[in-house]
Structure 1
Amino acid sequence: MNTHGRTTTPARRTLLRGAALGAAAPVLSGTAAADTGQAAEGRTRATDSVTYRWLGTSGWRIDIRRAQGQEKRPATATVLVDPYVTRFATGLFTGAFDPTTRLRTDKPLARRHAGTSEVICVTHTHWDHLNDVPFLARATGARVIGTETTYHVLRSFGVDAAQLVVVKGGEVLDFDGYVVEVASSRHSRNASYSYFAPGTLTAPPATAPRTVADLPEGDTLAFKVTPDGAPSALFMGASDFDERSFAGLAPDVAMLAVASTESTYRYVPRLLAALDRPGVVVPVHWDDFERPLSEPPRKDGTALDDFVARVREASPASRLVVPDYATEYGADLRPRGSAH
Structure 2
Amino acid sequence: MSIGRRGFLRGAVAGGALTPLLAGAAAPAHATAAAAAPGASPTGGGGGAVFRWLGTSGWRIDMPGRPSVLVDPFLTRFSTGLFDPDREFDAATRLTVDAGTVDEHTADIGDGGVVLVTHTHWDHFSDVPHIATTTGAQVVGTLTTYHLAQAMGVPVGQTSPVRGGEVLDFDGCVVEVVSSRHSRNANHSVTFAGVRVEVPGKPATIADLPEGDTLAFQVTPPSGPSVFFMGASDFAEREVAGLAPDVAMVALPSTSSTHEYVPRLLEALERPGTVVPVHWDHFERALANPPVDGTGKGMSVAEFTALVRRVSPGSRVVVPEYLTPYTF
TM-score by length of 2: 0.83
| Structure 2 residue identity aligned to 1:60 | W
| Structure 2 residue identity aligned to 1:188 | S
Q: Which residue does 2:99 correspond to in 1?
A: 107
Distance in 1 between residues matched to 2:193 and 2:149, nearest whole Å: 18
Q: Which residue does 2:10 correspond to in 1?
A: none
- Checking the alignment, whether the CA contact within 8 Å between 1:123 and 1:220 is kept in structure 2 is yes
**Larger RCO (CA within 8 A; separation ≥ 6):** 2
Distance in 2 between residues matched to 1:189 and 1:142, nearest whole Å: 31
* Aligned-pair CA distance for 1:48: 3.5
- Checking the alignment, whether the CA contact within 8 Å between 2:32 and 2:273 is kept in structure 1 is no
Q: Which residue does 2:38 correspond to in 1?
A: none
Please say if 1:287 is aligned against 2:284.
Answer: no
Distance in 2 between residues matched to 1:45 and 1:88, nearest whole Å: 32
Cα deviation digits, residues 31-78 of structure 1 (max 9, x gap): xxxxxxxxxxxxx9895311011000000000011xxxxxxxxx2321
Please say if 1:21 is aligned against 2:31.
Answer: yes
* Aligned-pair CA distance for 1:238: 0.2
Please say if 1:185 is aligned against 2:180.
Answer: yes
Match of 1:145 among 127, 140, 149: 140
Cα deviation digits, residues 132-185 of structure 1 (max 9, x gap): 000000000001100000000011112111111110001000111310000000
Report 1:201-216 matches (<5 A): 201-205=196-200, 207-216=201-210
Distance in 2 between residues matched to 1:306 and 1:209, nearest whole Å: 37
Cα deviation digits, residues 278-330 of structure 1 (max 9, x gap): 00000000111101102521127542222111111110100100001142111
Aligned residue for 1:298, secondary structure, equals coil
Cα deviation digits, residues 219-238 of structure 1 (max 9, x gap): 00000110112211110000
Moved more, 218-227 or 47-56: 47-56
* TM-aligned CA distance change 1:197 to 1:176, over 3 Å: same
| Structure 2 residue identity aligned to 1:312 | R
Q: Which residue does 1:227 correspond to in 2?
A: 221
* TM-aligned CA distance change 1:150 to 1:300, over 3 Å: closer
Distance in 2 between residues matched to 1:300 and 1:128, nearest whole Å: 14
Q: Which residue does 1:255 correspond to in 2?
A: 249
| Structure 1 residue identity aligned to 2:75 | V
Match of 1:84 among 68, 74, 78: 74
Distance in 1 between residues matched to 2:290 and 2:264, nearest whole Å: 31
- Checking the alignment, whether the CA contact within 8 Å between 2:179 and 2:239 is kept in structure 1 is yes
Q: Which residue does 2:309 correspond to in 1?
A: 312
| Structure 2 residue identity aligned to 1:262 | S
| Structure 2 residue identity aligned to 1:310 | L
Distance in 1 between residues matched to 2:151 and 2:195, nearest whole Å: 14
Structure 2: give runs of 5+ residues left out of the alignment.
Answer: 1-26, 34-42
* Aligned-pair CA distance for 1:21: 2.3
Moved more, 287-296 or 219-228: 287-296
Report 1:325-336 matches (<5 A): 325-330=322-327, 332=328
RMSD: 1.8
Aligned residue for 2:180, secondary structure, equals strand
* Aligned-pair CA distance for 1:191: 1.1
- Checking the alignment, whether the CA contact within 8 Å between 2:280 and 2:295 is kept in structure 1 is no
Distance in 1 between residues matched to 2:102 and 2:294, nearest whole Å: 27
- Checking the alignment, whether the CA contact within 8 Å between 1:180 and 1:226 is kept in structure 2 is yes
Distance in 2 between residues matched to 1:212 and 1:164, nearest whole Å: 21
- Checking the alignment, whether the CA contact within 8 Å between 2:49 and 2:223 is kept in structure 1 is no
* TM-aligned CA distance change 1:301 to 1:208, over 3 Å: closer
- Checking the alignment, whether the CA contact within 8 Å between 2:146 and 2:159 is kept in structure 1 is yes
Distance in 2 between residues matched to 1:106 and 1:293, nearest whole Å: 12
Distance in 1 between residues matched to 2:295 and 2:149, nearest whole Å: 34
Distance in 2 between residues matched to 1:219 and 1:126, nearest whole Å: 10
TM-score by length of 1: 0.80
- Checking the alignment, whether the CA contact within 8 Å between 1:20 and 1:46 is kept in structure 2 is no
Distance in 2 between residues matched to 1:319 and 1:309, nearest whole Å: 11
Greater Rg, structure 1 or structure 2? 1
Structure 1: give runs of 5+ residues left out of the alignment.
Answer: 1-16, 24-43, 66-74, 333-340
Q: Which residue does 1:97 correspond to in 2?
A: 89
- Checking the alignment, whether the CA contact within 8 Å between 2:218 and 2:245 is kept in structure 1 is yes
Match of 1:194 among 179, 185, 189: 189
- Checking the alignment, whether the CA contact within 8 Å between 2:107 and 2:134 is kept in structure 1 is no
Distance in 1 between residues matched to 2:92 and 2:254, nearest whole Å: 24
Q: Which residue does 1:236 correspond to in 2?
A: 230
